[in-house]
Amino acid sequence: MNINATLIGQTIMFALFVWFCMKFVWPPIMAALDARNKRIADGLAAAERGKNDLALAAKHSAELLREAKEKVAEIIALGDKRASEIVEEAKAQAKIEGERIVTAAKAEVEQEVFRAKEQLRTQVSAIALAGAGKILGREIDAKAHNDLLDKLVAEI
Amino acid sequence: MSTEGLTTSAYIKHHLQNLTCSFQEGHFHCAHTAEEAKAMGFWAINMDTILVSLLLGLIFLFLFSRVAKSISSGVPSGMQNFVEWVVEFIDSSVRGSFNGRSALVAPLALSIFAWIFLMNLMDLVPIDYISLITQPLGIGHFKLVPTTDPNATIGMAIGVFLLVLFYSIKVKGLGGFVGELTLQPFGKFGLPVNLFLEGVNLIAKPVSLALRLFGNMYAGEMIFILIALMGASWMSFSFASTLLFSSQVILSLGWAIFHILIVTLQAFIFMTLTIVYLDMAHQEHH
């Protein structure tokens, strides 16, 4: 327990240790800690920003969705309207066409009937003539009584 | 135990004796007795104090500089975590009590804290174990705890004192520093009283630093020695011997656990007082 030169050695060692610590130990560690502080602060700020962006995007997407729904409803209504229109048009056209066909068919039938009547008349007059001829025999001249016959034909 | 054939007082003296060496008549010589060590005078060196404190200082600087070299600002792990924890603790202590700006104070505080902590920690090594290594090497005395040597604590206190003087003069100028010593608290007509009061105030700083640390660690070491003596008085399988031996086990365990607190506390006090003294050196008195 004597005071001796150890004192001086200890002071010198102390000074050297402090110098070394100040030069090579403390600054890099503090720099790294500060850098980490900054990174954490930046990260937190970025997270905050991201959260805001997300909220904004969610709002925007909801708006878009709503708009799209509206548009779709509009388009569907338009389509429905157009479809019923087309159906109506088709119905009207079909009616007109049907009527036309019916009319044409009726006309044709009438014509046919007329033609058949004409034919029938001619044939009936011929038969009548032939029958009358047979009944009257020779006395009746076909030429002389042609007028009569024609009248008869017209009456039938 | 190395106590066979030794009396109790010899055992205690043995454990309180440093390995004091000096150059005498051209060759390096180490003292065997306390009287011999005393006769060596001032120009002798306590080799145990120097070696252990040097080794511990190097361990501290090696660990911390290795981390400092490979440190990253990413996710820390293992040793880096520990080092950062210590550094942040020191940094917040310095920020708490040092108001100026200085690149020196924080690393100084870290060095003081870590170094004293490690030196104090040697107190927890069982006191007779070191002689298992030193005795075969022919070394008679070896004190493992440098802070129980007043030379170590006074040496550090002188270092701090020089820094206090340096910063006092640097910040306030030589005139300001001298004025602070002589012109207050009683004005220029009370100059001798002022000088006496402020002088005591100034000198008290290193003295209190050195003696507080030395006193605490020396007393702690002393109690370890006394506890160790209980088991050393083993005679036979008698009730008394067994009681003493088990008392040693329990007491040394208890004292060692309590000492963990003292080890840390003394290192912290030395560091905090250093910061406060340097803060005072940086401030103008009003």
In whole angstroms, what separates CA B212 from the centre of its chain? 9
Q: How many residues in chain A?
A: 156
Q: What's the average model confidence in pLDDT over B58-78?
A: 88
* Whole-angstrom distance, CA of residue B212 vs CA of residue B269: 9
B126: left (phi over 0), alpha (psi -120 to 50) or beta: beta
**What amino acid occupies position A7?**
L
C-alpha distances (whole Å) from B54 to each of A16, A93, B61, B116, B140 are 11, 114, 10, 12, 20
Note whether B127 contacts A: Cβ–Cβ < 8 A: no
* Whole-angstrom distance, CA of residue A89 vs CA of residue A95: 10
Note whether A62 contacts B: Cβ–Cβ < 8 A: no
Residue in chain A nearest B111 by alpha carbon: A18
Catalytic residues of B: 208, 212, 216
* Whole-angstrom distance, CA of residue B6 vs CA of residue A84: 123
Spell out which residues of chain A touch residue B88, defining contact as CB-CB under 8 Å.
33
- The residues near B238 (Cβ < 8 Å, ≥ 6 apart) are none
Question: A1 vs B40: CB contact, 8 Å cut-off?
Answer: no
Question: B115 vs A11: CB contact, 8 Å cut-off?
Answer: no
ipTM, two decimals: 0.86
Q: Which residue has the higher pLDDT, A63 or B10?
A: A63
On the question of pLDDT at B127 being above 60, the answer is: yes
pTM for the structure as a whole: 0.74
Note whether A154 contacts B: Cβ–Cβ < 8 A: no
Give me the pLDDT at residue B112, please.
Answer: 94
Give me the pLDDT at residue A71, please.
Answer: 96
On the question of pLDDT at B50 being above 60, the answer is: yes
C-alpha distances (whole Å) from A69 to each of A64, A73, A76, A81, A82 are 9, 6, 10, 18, 20
Q: What percent of chain B has pLDDT over 90?
A: 38
- The residues near B177 (Cβ < 8 Å, ≥ 6 apart) are B168, B169
Note whether B137 contacts A: Cβ–Cβ < 8 A: no
Note whether A41 contacts B: Cβ–Cβ < 8 A: no
Question: Which two tokens mark A137?
Answer: 């025999």
Query: Bridge partners of B30?
Result: B21
**Which ranges of chain A would DSSP assign to H, the alpha helix?**
6-20, 26-136, 146-155
A3 phi/psi in degrees, rounded to 5: -80, 120
**Would you place residue B71 in the very low, low, confident or very high pLDDT band (cuts 50, 70, 90)?**
confident
Exposed e or buried b for every residue in A93-126, given b needs 16+ CB within 10 A?
eeeeeeeeeeeeeeeeeeeeeeeeeeeeeeeebe
Give the HSE-up count for residue B185: Cα atoms under 13 Å, Cβ half-sphere. Answer: 3
* Whole-angstrom distance, CA of residue B286 vs CA of residue B283: 9
Give me the pLDDT at residue B28, please.
Answer: 78
- The enclosing H or E element of A5 equals none
User: If contacts are CB pairs under 8 Å, which of residues 75-104 in chain A contact chain B?
Assistant: none
On the question of pLDDT at A8 being above 60, the answer is: yes
Q: DSSP 3-state assignment of B215? A: helix
Give me the pLDDT at residue B269, please.
Answer: 95
**Range from B32-36, B67-71, B216-220 that averages highest in pLDDT:** B216-220
Rounded to the nearest angstrom, the minimum Cα separation between B26 and chain A is: 18
**What amino acid occupies position B157?**
A
Q: Which residue has the higher pLDDT, A132 or A80?
A: A80
DSSP secondary structure letter of residue B236: S
B71 phi/psi in degrees, rounded to 5: -70, 145
